[in-house]
Structure 1
Amino acid sequence: MKSYDEWAEAQEHTTVEVDGHDLDVAYYEEGTGEPVVFLHGIPTNSYLFSKVIDPLVEERRVILPDMVGYGNSQQTDNFDRSIRAQEVMIRGLVDDLGLGSIDFVGHDLGGGVGLRFASHYPNEVDHLVLSNSVAYDSWPIKIITDLGLPESARENSPADIQGMLDDLFRGTLYGDDPDEAFIEGMKTPWNSEEGVTSLVRAAGSTNTCHTTEVDPRNVTADTLLLWGLEDEFQPVRWAERLEGDIDSCELVGLEESNHWVPADRPEAFREHLARFLLD
């Protein structure tokens, strides 16, 4: 598995227009074949999935963007970072890379983007995987709404935010021996004044209406819900509701996993992805 620095070095960049802003989008790409797009949530980046893509890249073209405002994508303080805007980014990226129809794997906010995209473009998403995804009015959670207050950007230094993120991941990764490389990979992109402001703006862009306005019953893609059962942020009851609303849907609950499922249970995550997307 690549280190975060190796991952970042291997990323490519393209420009996508989002609401009149030409924004730089960093993405990691590997493999050939039919495309699979992965999308992370807050406060992570595409490195979240670094442990789970190996089986797919042998047969598929795997694309993992950093959402705008996140990771190594553009972080300037002049554009929307909401999941509505991230859907526009994905629309532009799919078109720019000539992907056509795709499979989509989304975690947390990335799952909310996947729900929107699969609902709005039902003929372009064949398979949808949602992992501890935001949906309905399950979000934002208090830690994110507090972080999104404008004064958070003025009152917190990069060191303050690094400490907060360190505590967050150490407190919510499952088990007593967290992956240090994973934690550093999640924290590093925010370690600057611009990064602090970008994270606060991302938190402030969490808008419940951007999921409540979407009816999951409009999703026609075959759907897999890969859910960490110990999640305190997006409890499994939201997955159970999605399972009832999406016609072709399977819920797989993963024991010994909190919110960060690709990091907590990478082997199981890989196995279920391969079964669902490759078989």
Structure 2
Amino acid sequence: MDYERWSERQESTTIGVDEHDLEVAYYDEGSGEPVVFCHGIPTASFLWRHAAPELADDYRVIAPDMVGYGNSATHDGFDRSIRAQEELIAGLVDRLDLGTVSFVGHDLGGGVGLRYAAHRPDEVSKLVLSNAVCYDSWPIEQIVDLGLPATIEGMSVDDLQKTLRGLYRETLYGDDPDEAFVEGMVSQWDSEEAMVSLSRNAIGTNTSHTTEIDPADVTAETLLLWGAEDEFQPIEYAERLADDVDDAEVVGLNDAYHWVPEDRPDAYTEHLAEFLAS
């Protein structure tokens, strides 16, 4: 599925975050027990283009674009931190009347899921974290640089897109990355407003929002489904989480870097489906 088709299948609603009414685009397919997917930076819900449609045969799958990303609100003037994104998820779960959910998060979305599950243990039945930010494992240098106003002041939209293409192509596993994925992720950053939004997203990467969480507060059955060769969020952090979360297991997928749902889509979806059905 390409980005245009994914976008056409999204719905939208308005969610209050820190007293701002923000438009949120989200994928919502299937029926049954709800599974909420949350992406990271600098991606969008398109990250789940393989797993979400497969699981929609058995579950209600909801995958929002976080605010500041994709087809959600990108205008200036609101917080994009994972604390704010947690509020977004809570508002969307309430708006859609989902009740208790399973939560799947990657990168920053994993940090959102960690907070959500720790703060609302009765509302998360199963938690899947993939190459997730946690403890003080983040942010990485490339994201910190994007958050500096001086960085984007010297860039055009074309410059930014070229930079992001290089980042994805260099950090996807293998010598022949899927250009539909690369172009889909890059195409969302296609205007001055979107470029500023990405910078605001980057500067909102606040390590305090994971270091203040006690993973022992997570009571959900937890799967740490990790790209085993990731240098951004090494698998050692998954192993540390497994020690601190009462009911957690680590599954490392070889031949996968940070973008594990894209590097190993079949294996990733298979492990995810097996865990959710258990």
**Shorter-chain TM band:** over 0.9
Corresponding position of 2:256: 257
- Give the aligned residue type for 2:83: R
How far residue 191 of structure 1 moved from its aligned partner, in angstroms, is 1.2
Corresponding position of 1:270: 269
- Give the aligned residue type for 1:258: Y
Q: Distance in 2 between matches of 1:36 and 1:229?
A: 24
Q: Secondary structure at the match of 2:197?
A: helix
Corresponding position of 1:134: 133
Q: Distance in 2 between matches of 1:12 and 1:156?
A: 32
Kept in 1: contact 2:102–2:125 (CA 8 A): yes
Corresponding position of 1:110: 109
Task: Please report the RMSD computed on the Cα atoms of aligned residues, expressed in angstroms.
Answer: 0.7
Corresponding position of 1:190: 189
Q: Distance in 1 between matches of 2:78 and 2:109?
A: 18
How far residue 52 of structure 1 moved from its aligned partner, in angstroms, is 1.4
Corresponding position of 2:83: 84
Instruction: Render the CA deviation track for 1:60-95: whole Å, top value 9, x for unaligned.
Output: 100000000000000001100000000000010000
Corresponding position of 2:71: 72
Q: Secondary structure at the match of 1:138?
A: coil
Q: Secondary structure at the match of 1:134?
A: coil
Kept in 2: contact 1:136–1:208 (CA 8 A): yes
Instruction: Render the CA deviation track for 1:77-120: whole Å, top value 9, x for unaligned.
Output: 11000000000000100000000000000000000000000000
Q: Secondary structure at the match of 1:153?
A: helix
How far residue 151 of structure 1 moved from its aligned partner, in angstroms, is 1.9
Q: Which runs of 4+ in 1 moved over 6 A?
A: none
Corresponding position of 1:54: 53
Corresponding position of 1:214: 213
Give the % identical residues.
63
TM-score by length of 2: 0.99
Kept in 2: contact 1:158–1:192 (CA 8 A): yes
Kept in 2: contact 1:189–1:195 (CA 8 A): yes
Q: Secondary structure at the match of 2:188?
A: helix
Instruction: Render the CA deviation track for 1:111-139: whole Å, top value 9, x for unaligned.
Output: 00000000000000000000000000000
How far residue 229 of structure 1 moved from its aligned partner, in angstroms, is 1.1
Kept in 2: contact 1:156–1:196 (CA 8 A): no
Corresponding position of 1:18: 17
Q: Secondary structure at the match of 2:252?
A: strand
Kept in 1: contact 2:29–2:53 (CA 8 A): no
Structure 1 gap segments, 5+ residues each: none
Corresponding position of 2:224: 225
Kept in 2: contact 1:56–1:278 (CA 8 A): no
Q: Secondary structure at the match of 2:40?
A: coil
Structure 2 gap segments, 5+ residues each: none
Q: Distance in 2 between matches of 1:241 and 1:221?
A: 17
Q: Distance in 2 between matches of 1:3 and 1:146?
A: 29
- Give the aligned residue type for 2:74: Q
Q: Distance in 2 between matches of 1:173 and 1:240?
A: 23
- Structure 1 position 95 matched with structure 2 position 94: yes
How far residue 153 of structure 1 moved from its aligned partner, in angstroms, is 2.8
Corresponding position of 2:122: 123
Q: Secondary structure at the match of 1:170?
A: helix
How far residue 9 of structure 1 moved from its aligned partner, in angstroms, is 1.1
How far residue 55 of structure 1 moved from its aligned partner, in angstroms, is 3.4
Instruction: Render the CA deviation track for 1:115-172: whole Å, top value 9, x for unaligned.
Output: 0000000000000000000000000111111110122232211101101100000000
Instruction: Render the CA deviation track for 1:178-211: whole Å, top value 9, x for unaligned.
Output: 0000001111111111110000000000000000
Higher mean C-alpha displacement, 151-160 vs 141-150: 151-160
Q: Distance in 2 between matches of 1:54 and 1:146?
A: 34
TM-score by length of 1: 0.98
Q: Secondary structure at the match of 2:51?
A: coil
- Give the aligned residue type for 1:220: T
Q: Distance in 1 between matches of 2:187 and 2:77?
A: 22
How far residue 53 of structure 1 moved from its aligned partner, in angstroms, is 2.2
How far residue 230 of structure 1 moved from its aligned partner, in angstroms, is 1.0
How far residue 21 of structure 1 moved from its aligned partner, in angstroms, is 0.5
Instruction: Render the CA deviation track for 1:8-29: whole Å, top value 9, x for unaligned.
Output: 0111000000111000000011
Corresponding position of 1:8: 7
Corresponding position of 1:154: 153
- Give the aligned residue type for 2:46: Y
Q: Distance in 2 between matches of 1:85 and 1:152?
A: 24
